[in-house]
């Protein structure tokens, strides 16, 4: 059967228990083996929930017939590429090709200020890097993707293109393998947990494809990007410590491209502000702001201004959506 025609059965029970997840995993292992045989499968593994669950499932089903490519575009959060390598290469023994393409992306993005142009460059270069890696491998016939059921529904409704990998299949002539195609996001998480993926991978907050690139508004510079990455790491650590990780939908920092005057150790500074955004939502169309405890705010401010080079102010974004979108670009 052509995979494009596989649909979620109306009668399908929501996968919300380990038993149901196990049954789904067994079923998919059999289906993937039947589809793929002894051929090789390629997967772009971003480290996000969907591609990670697909990787873990396919490792169970076909072991080293799976080739995962993790492209580091230089816009990932602190510790992310390391975690992908640890979980998939070291623990699950996957064939993992890790490509540090940070310099390529950052060189291309130099002086680019338009948000949509930044997105196009990041998306386009991702395809280039992935295609180059695919070309080095011989005998690949299948491309695995973390397409999920809402992607299909949204693409049918004309809201977005559902192929996460951005047009790769048509160009590269692979047959698709989409083992979580009929699942809702919450079900993907239950299946991922059952496959042994760590909680911070399975329950992680949404993260945009262009990564920290859209949180470093205007032309991306390496120093400001590092300020975003470091402040984001501090924010995530404090959310974890305060039991808010997994409770708040999305939280991150933005470092805008302007400077203001400050004073440190009796000397004038001229540095960037760091903006904290923490929001809650169910459908991302409408968003409310999470109000953090005052002590946590004070602690965050102290940590960010002392630990992150180039920051001399911390601001909090109190704006709901609408009128403000979640991301700044």
Cβ proximity to ligand XMP: between 237 and 327 the closer is 327
145 part of the interface to ligand XMP, by CB under 6 A: no
> Minimum distance from CB of 23 to ligand XMP (Å)?
30
289 part of the interface to ligand XMP, by CB under 6 A: no
Cβ proximity to ligand XMP: between 17 and 325 the closer is 325
Binding track over 229-268 against ligand XMP, x by CB under 6 A? ---------------------x------------------
Sole window of 18-26, 105-113, 218-226, 321-329 interacting with ligand XMP (rule: CB under 6 A): 321-329
In terms of DSSP H, where are the helices of 15-48?
18-36
In terms of DSSP H, where are the helices of 137-198?
149-156, 168-172, 185-194
# residues near ligand XMP by CB under 6 A: 11
> Minimum distance from CB of 208 to ligand XMP (Å)?
3
> Minimum distance from CB of 320 to ligand XMP (Å)?
11
Q: Residue 194 class from Cβ within 10 Å (0-12 exposed, 13-18 middle, 19+ buried)?
A: buried
8 part of the interface to ligand XMP, by CB under 6 A: no
| 258 CB-near residues (< 8 Å, 6+ apart) | 272, 273
Cβ proximity to ligand XMP: between 46 and 312 the closer is 46
29 part of the interface to ligand XMP, by CB under 6 A: no
Q: Which one of residues 20, 244, 297, 326 is an interface residue with ligand XMP (CB under 6 A)?
A: 326
Cβ proximity to ligand XMP: between 72 and 312 the closer is 72
As a whole number of angstroms, the distance between CA 141 and CA 193 comes to 29
Locus of tokens 């397409």: 147
CA 308 distance to own-chain centroid: 23
Backbone phi, then psi, for 87, in 5-degree steps?
-70, -50
Nearest to 27 by CA among 5, 9, 47: 9
> Minimum distance from CB of 63 to ligand XMP (Å)?
30
Residue 136 host element (H or E): helix 115-136
CA angle 145, 149, 152 (to 5 degrees): 80
What residues from 72 to 131 belong to the interface with ligand XMP (CB under 6 A)? 119
Over the range 120-134, which residues count as b (16 or more CB within 10 Å of their CB) and which as e? ebbeebbbebbeebb
Residue 122 host element (H or E): helix 115-136
What residues from 177 to 216 belong to the interface with ligand XMP (CB under 6 A)? 206, 208-210
> Minimum distance from CB of 123 to ligand XMP (Å)?
9
> Minimum distance from CB of 119 to ligand XMP (Å)?
5
Cβ proximity to ligand XMP: between 6 and 284 the closer is 284
Sole window of 39-47, 104-112, 308-316, 318-326 interacting with ligand XMP (rule: CB under 6 A): 318-326
Q: Which one of residues 23, 131, 153, 284 is an interface residue with ligand XMP (CB under 6 A)?
A: 284
DSSP, collapsed to helix, strand or coil, labels residue 18 as helix
321 part of the interface to ligand XMP, by CB under 6 A: yes
Q: Phi/psi class of residue 166: alpha, beta or left (left: φ > 0; alpha: ψ in -120 to 50)?
A: left
As a whole number of angstroms, the distance between CA 98 and CA 71 comes to 6
Cβ proximity to ligand XMP: between 80 and 271 the closer is 80
Cβ proximity to ligand XMP: between 153 and 284 the closer is 284
DSSP, collapsed to helix, strand or coil, labels residue 97 as strand
Q: Which residues bind ligand XMP (CB under 6 A)?
A: 119, 206, 208-210, 250, 284, 321, 325-327
């Amino acid at each position: 059967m052509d995979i494009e025609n596989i649909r979620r059965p109306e009668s399908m029970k929501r996968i919300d228990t380990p038993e149901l997840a196990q049954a789904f995993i067994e079923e998919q292992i059999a289906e993937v083996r039947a589809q793929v045989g002894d051929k090789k499968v390629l997967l772009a593994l971003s480290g996000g929930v969907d591609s990670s669950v697909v990787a873990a499932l396919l490792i169970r089903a076909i072991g080293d017939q799976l080739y995962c490519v993790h492209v580091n575009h230089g816009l990932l959060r602190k510790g992310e590429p390391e975690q992908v390598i640890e979980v998939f290469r070291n623990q699950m023994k996957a064939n993992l090709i890790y490509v540090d393409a940070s310099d390529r992306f950052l060189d291309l993005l130099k002086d680019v200020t338009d948000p949509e142009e930044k997105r196009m460059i990041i998306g386009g270069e991702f395809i280039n890097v992935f295609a180059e890696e695919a070309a080095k491998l011989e005998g690949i016939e299948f491309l695995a993707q973390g397409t999920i059921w809402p992607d299909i529904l949204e693409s049918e409704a004309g809201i977005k293109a559902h192929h996460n990998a951005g047009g790769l299949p048509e160009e590269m002539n692979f047959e698709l393998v989409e083992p979580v195609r009929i699942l809702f996001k919450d079900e993907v998480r239950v299946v991922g947990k059952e496959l042994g993926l760590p909680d911070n991978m399975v329950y992680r907050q949404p993260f945009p494809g262009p990564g920290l690139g859209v949180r470093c508004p205007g032309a991306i510079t390496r120093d400001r990007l590092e300020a975003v990455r470091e402040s984001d790491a501090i924010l995530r650590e404090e959310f974890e410590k305060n039991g808010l990780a997994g409770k708040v939908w999305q939280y991150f920092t933005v470092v805008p491209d302007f400077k203001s005057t400050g004073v440190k150790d009796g000397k004038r500074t001229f540095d960037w502000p760091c903006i904290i955004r923490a929001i809650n939502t169910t459908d991302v169309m409408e968003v409310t702001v999470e109000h953090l405890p005052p002590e946590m705010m004070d602690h965050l401010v102290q940590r960010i201004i002392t630990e992150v080079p180039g920051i001399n102010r911390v601001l909090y974004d109190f704006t709901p959506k609408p009128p403000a979108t979640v991301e700044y670009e």
